[in-house]
Amino acid sequence: MSETTATTSAPLDEVMLAMDVVDTLRHRQDLATRELAGATRESQLIDKLREIYRQQGIDVPDHILKEGVSALAESRFVYTPPPSGFGTTMARLYVGRSRWLPKAIGAVAVLLLLLGGYFLGYQPYQAHQREVAHLELTQELPARLEELYQTIFNETKVQQAEVEAEDLLKRGKAYAAEGNRAQAEEMANRLTALRDQLRQEYTLRVVNRPDTLSVFWRFPENNSAATNYYIVVEAVDPNGNLLSFPIRNEENGETETVNIWGLRVPESVYRSVAADKTDNGIIERDTVGLKSDGFMDIEYTVPVLGGTVTQW
C-alpha cells in the first residue's frame, strides 16, 4: 500500500492530529518559516515538532508529523475564500439571511403599508374631496346663491335691493362656472349681508345718558373757517339691545365697528338737541331715524348731512 493510500484511509484521530500539527506550525509560523526557508532537512523540523509535543505530554507518530509538514506546504486544512462574484454574493446573502431577512421583511411590510395607504386611502380620499368640491361649486353654491336671491326678492320693499341682489347672483354664478370658488363665495357672503341688512329693525336715537356727550362740534382740518356739528347716536333693536355697525370716520378715512358714533347734522339740529338736554338733563325727542324690515336704509326723522366720526 502506498503512503498516499494510507493517508487517505487514515483514521479520524490521525487526521485530527495532522490538523493539530498544521495548527501548531501556523501558530509557530516563525519556526516553520525559518526552518523551511533555511533549507533545513525535514527530519530536523520533525524533531523540533516531536519535542514540542513531548513537552506537552503528547506522543505523536512521525508519519503524522510528516503529514502535518506536507499539509502546511500544500496549504491543506487552510480555508481559501472563494473569488468574488455574483454567485459568491448570493451565497453570502443566503448564509446571512438570519441577520438581514427580518429587516428586509419589515421594510417590505412598511413599504406595502405606505403604498396601500396611498393607493387605497389617500388617493380615494383626494378623489372624493375633488368630487365634493366639484359638486359644491357646480351645484350647491349656485343653488345657495339662487336661494339667497329669492329670499331677498321676496322680502325687500325697495327695488334697489332686488337690483343689487340680481347683480350679485349673476356674478356669483359666473365665478362658479369659471371654477373661481373664492369669488363665488364672496358673492354669496355679500348676498347674505344684504339679506341680513334688509331684515334688521332698529331705532337710531341720540345717546341720552348723563356720563356721555350727546352733541359736539369740530373744526375741519382742511377748513378752519367752517364748523361741523355732530349728534352722538346709537342703534337699539326692538328688544332693547344695542347694535354695532362698521362706521367710517370721515376725519381719517378709517372704518371701525362701534355701537356709538357721531352723526353730522345741520347746526339747527345740533342746537335743538343741545337745548333739549339742557332743559332738564333729558332729551325727550331722542329719535333720529327708523330702520324697518325690508328696507336697506334708515328713514331719518331729522335732517342729516351724512358724515360720521368714531372718535371725539
Residue 215 · residue 232 · CB < 8 Å = yes
pLDDT of 5 over the 50 cut: no
Beta carbons within 10 angstroms of residue 194's beta carbon: 20
Cell 365634493 appears where?
A: 132
Residue 7 clears pLDDT 80, i.e. is over it:
no
- CA separation (Å) from 282 to 231, 259, 260? 15, 21, 18
Is the pLDDT at 45 greater than 80? The verdict is no
Q: What is the 3-state secondary structure (H, E, C) of 130-158?
A: HHHHHHHHHHHHHHHHHHHHHHHHHHCCC
Taking alpha carbons only, the member of 233, 194, 202, 203 closest to residue 215 is 233
Predicted TM-score (pTM) of this structure = 0.57
pLDDT in tens, 105-140: 989 999 888 888 888 888 888 887 777 777 788 889
Inform me whether the pLDDT recorded for 1 exceeds 50: no
Across the chain, what does the average pLDDT equal? 84
Domain parsing of the chain, residue ranges: 3-73, 131-199, 202-309
d(CA 105, CA 90): 17
Q: Give CA–CA dist 300/202, Å, rounded.
A: 12
Query: What pLDDT shows up at residue 38?
Result: 44
